[in-house]
Structure 1
Amino acid sequence: MFGCLVAGRLVQTDALQVAPDKFVFNLADYENVNHVVVFMLGSVPFPTGTGGAVYFSFPDPLRGGPVWQLLGFITNEKPSAIFKISGLKSGEGGAHPFGAMASAQPSVAQVGVSVEPLEQLLQQIPVSSAAVSTVDTFMQFTQKMLDSLYNFVSSFALTQAQMTPNPTETFIPSSCVLRWFENFQRRMAQNPNFWKN
């Protein structure tokens, strides 16, 4: 019914059914996993009015058992989702439907899918750091590049009193760089592909 995918690994379709409405995937070497994708295989839909709450658990010897955290959910209308789990290795777990299940090995985490009513799924609040950024990678790179350029150029700023005459060097007012920086950011926000024209 479900699949689980970690980049660089084979797709897992061998969910262990631990209850009639609960399924678990084991994730070995979870310390090296940043994101996980949970999806429906397409062979069996959720029963009408239900979906799957997706949880992540990692072993926590200090608490004496696994820590479960809600990542989000999948439904017949949204049959797959990607979650960031790299920031979830510490912190508090919340209420979960998996009881006192414990991972067999200390280096194995688990991804659980619990079939629940849609009304209940919509009322649950996932861990905020599990949401994958919706900002395009290109947009992130461009913003970081702009910030880096502006910070680099600003580090050389001099007042007119500090300047020594040098006829072989051209000076650009920092206000021009700032104006370009702000215009570029505005144009990127309006149309991330403006530079292709």
Structure 2
Amino acid sequence: MFGCLVAGRLVQTDAVQVAPDKFVFNLPDYENVNHVVVFMLGTMPFPAGMGGAVYFAFPDPVSGSSVWQLLGFVTNDKPSAIFKISGLKTGEGGAHPFGMMASASPSVAQVGVSVESLDQLAQQIPVTSAAVSTVDSFLQFTQKMLDSLYNFASSFAVSQAQMNPHPTETFIPSSCILKWYENFQRRMAQNPNFWKN
């Protein structure tokens, strides 16, 4: 019913069913994983009014049990989701439906899917650091680059009264940089690929 994917690894479709409505994937070498994708295989939909809460569990080396954190959910209308697990904190967990399951090993984390009603899913609050940014990384880079250029150029700004004559220097009014900055932002918002033309 479910699959789990980590970049650079084979797709896992071998979830262990630990209860009639609970499924678990083992995630070895989890310290080197940034994101995990959980998806429905398309072979069987959720029953009407149901969905899957997706959890991540760190192995607790002291107790041997797992510390579970809610990442988000998948449903028939949203059959896949990407979660960032690299920013999660070990030892910080919350209420979860997986009981006192023992971790497979100290180097193996677990991804769990709990089939629950859509009403229950709507009331749950996932860990905020697990949400993957919806902003395209290229757009995010471009925005940071624009900010950096404008801030850097502005740090050299002087008024006309403060200017010292430098015959070899060319001075550009900061209003020109600001105008370029605003135009570039506007064009990026209209068409992120405008620069390819």
Q: Distance in 2 between matches of 1:13 and 1:64?
A: 25
2:106 matched to 1:106? yes
User: More deviation in 29-38 or 63-72?
Assistant: 63-72
Q: Distance in 1 between matches of 2:35 and 2:82?
A: 7
Q: Distance in 1 between matches of 2:13 and 2:124?
A: 26
User: More deviation in 77-86 or 149-158?
Assistant: 149-158
Q: Distance in 1 between matches of 2:7 and 2:42?
A: 21
> What residue in structure 1 maps to residue 123 of structure 2?
123
Pairs aligned (count)? 197
* 1:13-55 deviation per Cα after TM superposition (whole angstroms, max 9, x unaligned): 1101111110000111111111100011111111221111100
2:60 matched to 1:39? no
> Helix, strand or coil: the match of 2:140?
helix
Q: Normalising to structure 2: TM-score of the pair?
A: 0.90
Q: Distance in 1 between matches of 2:175 and 2:60?
A: 53
> Helix, strand or coil: the match of 1:119?
helix
For residues 1-197 of structure 1, the aligned pairs below 5 Å read: 1-61=1-61, 65-90=65-90, 92-195=92-195
Task: Give the C-alpha shift of residue 163 in structure 1.
Answer: 3.1
Unaligned 5+ runs, structure 2 = none
Considering only aligned residues, what root-mean-square deviation do their CA atoms show, in Å? 2.0
User: More deviation in 130-139 or 105-114?
Assistant: 130-139
Q: Distance in 2 between matches of 1:163 and 1:91?
A: 58
* 1:158-187 deviation per Cα after TM superposition (whole angstroms, max 9, x unaligned): 344443312232101223212322343344
Letter in 1 for 2:19: A
User: More deviation in 54-63 or 100-109?
Assistant: 54-63
Q: Normalising to structure 1: TM-score of the pair?
A: 0.90
Q: Distance in 1 between matches of 2:184 and 2:63?
A: 50
- The alpha-carbon distance between structure 1 residues 185 and 91, as it changes in their structure 2 partners (threshold 3 A), is farther
Confirm or deny: 8 A CA contact 2:64 2:103 kept in the other structure. Answer: no
